[in-house]
Structure 1
């Protein structure tokens, strides 16, 4: 039985990154409503959420880009002097995830302000996350850049070693999703006129840049 001849090789790593302005913003908000009865808290929360959803629709957000993310009703208690917990009310809460897409005519700042104004003091903002609606074409560009980066390194090593770069023996990819930076815009609204006035003014939403990256490990034969 003949032995397989040993093949000299080199392995390099490449990294490719494509930077773009995000075309998708994900908004997380919730409604918290208090009342003296379960039905009262639940009903108030329903009214507030309905108002928020209606405002989002008016702003141009489609139903497909809104999703309820939770629903609960719990008791609120206080610790009394006699060492017991006493129920003082009920808190109903529900969450809503909203996607704001470029090209739909929705202005992120105006849309957030409309939701806050519609829900009033019961609205809580959880944050904004930027993203890419369709990262596939950007991933293709990142892969090309990653491969070119790995090949340039391999060619440099081969030249320094006085050999030629041969056929590719193995390719292993490690892709990263579009990096998303979350902006914490959570706010506890109180009933003071000053804060109510601030809530009605849109807070600017600056998209900035996000990136899609790909990493690759390539092994070449050396001739």
Structure 2
């Protein structure tokens, strides 16, 4: 039995509806203990603020570091402590409100590492992308069959995957310089790939 195997790819676009805000508290002091204590106090305050915008289970530490910091001449001047956090927000409004409050309350001890936008329930979009990938695979197979003076028979095998990423990032949140509370969702591309083997008649 002759067969043809092709890989189809499909995608669909959807607006993100949730966000992960990545921030860090950074503090300097002459001693390790002082730097660590100062950054811990800032992190505690960040946690308090974050819990007014999201659930505790969506707040996670991303790294705790202490190192020697130097001035512009390379002289050791003390220690710098850093504690990173990833804060998952249920919607973009909560993420914007969180950013606005953090910048107002934490001040210069706060570092904003980025805001990534996510689709909270991508199942429906993944299904549409998978359907598009199958249609693409069939069209490719029909073309190849026609080139070999054949027609397609029944499907022999379908394997999900084959090069397409399950989800392609739609980029990062875009916040106006004078309005940190506003986050524009844009669109995220959900992709799928299927590898299909058809009988050739």
Report the TM-score range of the alignment, normalised by the length of the smaller protein.
0.7 to 0.9
- Give me the whole-angstrom Cα distance separating, in 2, the residues matched to 1:73 and 1:161: 66
Secondary structure at the counterpart of residue 182 of structure 2 = coil
Corresponding residue for 1:15?
9
Corresponding residue for 2:121?
134
Contact map agreement 1:56 1:114 (CA 8 A) in 2: no
Corresponding residue for 1:195?
none
Task: Name whichever of 160-169 and 22-31 sits farther off.
Answer: 160-169
Q: TM-score, normalised by structure 1?
A: 0.77
- Give me the whole-angstrom Cα distance separating, in 2, the residues matched to 1:199 and 1:163: 60
Question: Larger radius of gyration, structure 1 or 2?
Answer: 1
Q: CA deviation at 1:156?
A: 4.4
Q: CA deviation at 1:32?
A: 0.6
Gaps of 5+ in 1: 1-6, 186-197
Q: Are the structure 2 counterparts of residues 182 and 143 from structure 1 closer, same or farther at C-alpha, using a change threshold of 3 Å?
A: closer
- Give me the whole-angstrom Cα distance separating, in 2, the residues matched to 1:26 and 1:172: 32
Q: TM-score, normalised by structure 2?
A: 0.84
Secondary structure at the counterpart of residue 93 of structure 1 = strand
The CA RMSD over aligned residues, in Å, is 2.8
Gaps of 5+ in 2: none
1:1-223 maps to which residues of 2 (within 5 A)? 7-58=1-52, 60-78=53-71, 87-102=76-91, 106-158=93-145, 162-174=149-161, 175-183=164-172, 201-223=179-201
- Give me the whole-angstrom Cα distance separating, in 1, the residues matched to 2:158 and 2:86: 39
Contact map agreement 1:132 1:178 (CA 8 A) in 2: no
Task: Name whichever of 71-80 and 207-216 sits farther off.
Answer: 71-80
Q: CA deviation at 1:42?
A: 1.4
Which of structure 1's runs of 4+ aligned residues deviate more than 4 A?
159-162, 198-201
- Give me the whole-angstrom Cα distance separating, in 2, the residues matched to 1:212 and 1:79: 46
Q: Are the structure 2 counterparts of residues 66 and 200 from structure 1 closer, same or farther at C-alpha, using a change threshold of 3 Å?
A: farther
Q: Are the structure 2 counterparts of residues 86 and 19 from structure 1 closer, same or farther at C-alpha, using a change threshold of 3 Å?
A: closer
